[in-house]
Structure formats: structure tokens, C-alpha cells
Amino acid sequence: MRELYNVSASPHVRSGVTTRSIMRDVAIALAPASLVGVYQFGFAAFLVLLTSIASAMIAEFLWKRFVVKKKTPYECSALVTGLLLGMNLPASVPLWIPVVGSAFAIIVVKEMFGGLGQNFMNPALGARCFLLICFAGRMTAFGVEKASSHFMYGAASVDGISSATPLAVIKTLEAGKDICSEVSLKDMFFGFTGGVIGETSTLAILIGAAYLLVKKIISLRIPVAYIATFAVFVYIFGGHAFESDGFYYLACELCGGGLMLGAWFMATDYVTSPITKGGQIVFGILLGLLTGIIRVCGNSAEGVSYAIIFCNLLVPFIEKVTMPRAFGVVKKKKGGAAK
């Protein structure tokens, strides 16, 4: 009678993985791209990242202190949100821009909908799109303004960075002109181009993505479905499929803009992506199609941010359609009850 079974309340399978440990690993994975951005754009980029992170953490603290009025464990999500937002900003923006963006991300997108796990779109991307709508000029000016006050007007100097991003150059390229002579794929891969702080180096982003895969924080389903669908769409409809520079054009589209950062770090967000395996593949395919449509058919050279937050809204429907049927449950027939 000694060897009795112990029956305890669920969960019966436990893990040492916590929200804090996951967010810590994501922050570590974002470090290579952040460091390359700081190296490339200088101290101005460091100030933008620091301001964005600090603002997000302060906004979360103030909300919990004066609105929630309840002690909750610190899970590092505000740090990741602030870091991602800062990486999606140009180094030349005045420092009040990341302050406004972080407050919007934490308070409006996340906390007003119930906090972590309840937000319906990625907070960092929601804030970036908000800033793009409100301050389009500053958010798309990758050159650096000459000004005496960085807080009000932006960075004082960033050497060697062109005001036009490679994607913008490709978008406005005249028909028949050789892309290879206008855009350097090598510079795009290593991060020696214009753009926002955290998206310029494909290599640094892939290093961070490899870390997340090794730690099993993310899976390959969403990023691979996203990138593969986008690649097929752009190659077919981008206008270079039957030209000698077709694959070079495709490689530039893959390495340019926020595609890699979005695919590996923001589309894979646990809260705003489907939980079903089939749903994750469908989600990635929709992201690839929408990003391709915006880039190829739209006026903008980019499109990752809008594609992700739009598809975030479709997640409940995707999960409903792709949710596997429970064992023993028979699907209802039309006009009759299940047996």
C-alpha cells in the first residue's frame, strides 16, 4: 500500500522556461543586430535605443503603479518591446520620437488590452506604424539633420550613410538599368547601408535567429513560410524574372528593409501569431503574399510592418480554421447533429 499514485492538479508537465527567460533570450538574440547598428550609425543610434528601452520600461512601471495598482512579476517584455521599437527607428530621429512610440506601444497597444498575452498586435510594430502615420517625414528621413539639439531635432552627424535605402533605390530604378551597379548586395548583407538601426545587417539578424532556434524559442515554420512565399512572389511579379539580374534583384529584396528582422523576431511573437502548426504556416504564407504585394504593387519600397500587424488581426480566424479536432469528436453534418 506504500506505492500509491499521487494525483495532483494540472499542469502535469512542467518546464523551467519562463516568460522572463524567453524575453531575456530574445534580447540576447537582438544584440548582434543592435551592436552593428550602433557601430554603423554611431552614438546617435545608441541614444535612440537607450531612450526607447528606458521609455518602455518607465511606461510599464507607471501603468502598473498607478492604474493596475497590483504587484506583478517583472517579465522583461517592456525591455524587448523598447529594443525592437528602437531598432525600427532611424538613428536621426529626435529622442522624443522613441519616447512617444514606447508609450504608445506599452500603454495603448499592450496594457489597455489587458497586458502581456492580451494584445492583438505586436506592440513595437504597432508603435512604429503609429509613428510613420504621425511623423512620416522624420521616420523616413535616413539622412541626418544638422541641428544643435538631438532631443528636439535629431542626430548631429552620422558619417558615410546615404539618405536613400537600397530598397528605395531599387524601387525607383529606371527600366533596363543594371541593379548590380546601383546596389551592393555585400553591403546589404553585412550592414553597410542606410536604413533603420536594426535592419541593415542580414548577417547579424541571422546570427540572432540561429540563437533562438538553438534555444528552441522559435520554430522554422513562420519565418521559412514567410520568406519563401515572399521570394516566389517577388521573383515572379517583381519584373526581373527573365532578366540576367533576376536572382541578384531577389537577393537584394530578401536582404533589404525589415524582412529578415520581421520574419525572425516579430512575426514569431507568441502572443500575436497562431498557436497551431498549420496556422503558423498559413500565417507565414499570408505575410509573404501581403509583403510582396505592398513592395511590388504599392508606392512604398517597404511593407513588412503593415503586413505583420494586418495579419496579426487575422490570427483568431486562422486558429479557428486550423485548430485540430479533438480525439473522439465527430464533425457536425449539415442539417443534422453529430453522432
* Residues of the chain falling short of pLDDT 70: 1-15, 73, 143-164, 174-177, 241-242, 244, 326-339
Residue 129 sits at the vertex; the CA angle it makes with 126 and 134, to the nearest 5 degrees, is 125
Q: Which domains does the chain have, with CATH numbers?
A: 19-321 (1.10.3430)
DSSP 290-310: HHHHHHHHSS-S--HHHHHHH
Alpha helices (H) in the chain, listed in sequence order = 19-41, 43-63, 77-87, 96-103, 123-134, 136-139, 150-153, 166-171, 185-190, 202-214, 221-237, 246-255, 259-261, 277-297, 304-322
The total of other beta-carbon atoms located within 10 Å of residue 157's CB is 13
Question: Rounded distance, CA 27 to CA 18, Å?
Answer: 14
Please give the pLDDT value at position 124: 94
Please give the pLDDT value at position 117: 82
Dihedral of the alpha carbons of 126, 129, 131, 134, in degrees to the nearest 10: -120
* Secondary structure of 17-85 as H, E, C letters: CCHHHHHHHHHHHHHHHHHHHHHHHCHHHHHHHHHHHHHHHHHHHHHHHHHHCCCCCCCCHHHHHHHHH
Please give the pLDDT value at position 13: 63
Residue type, 197: I
Question: Rounded distance, CA 280 to CA 218, Å?
Answer: 11
Of the candidates 119, 56, 133, the residue with the CA atom closest to the CA atom of residue 87: 56
Please give the pLDDT value at position 107: 94
Please give the pLDDT value at position 104: 96
Please give the pLDDT value at position 254: 93
Please give the pLDDT value at position 4: 61
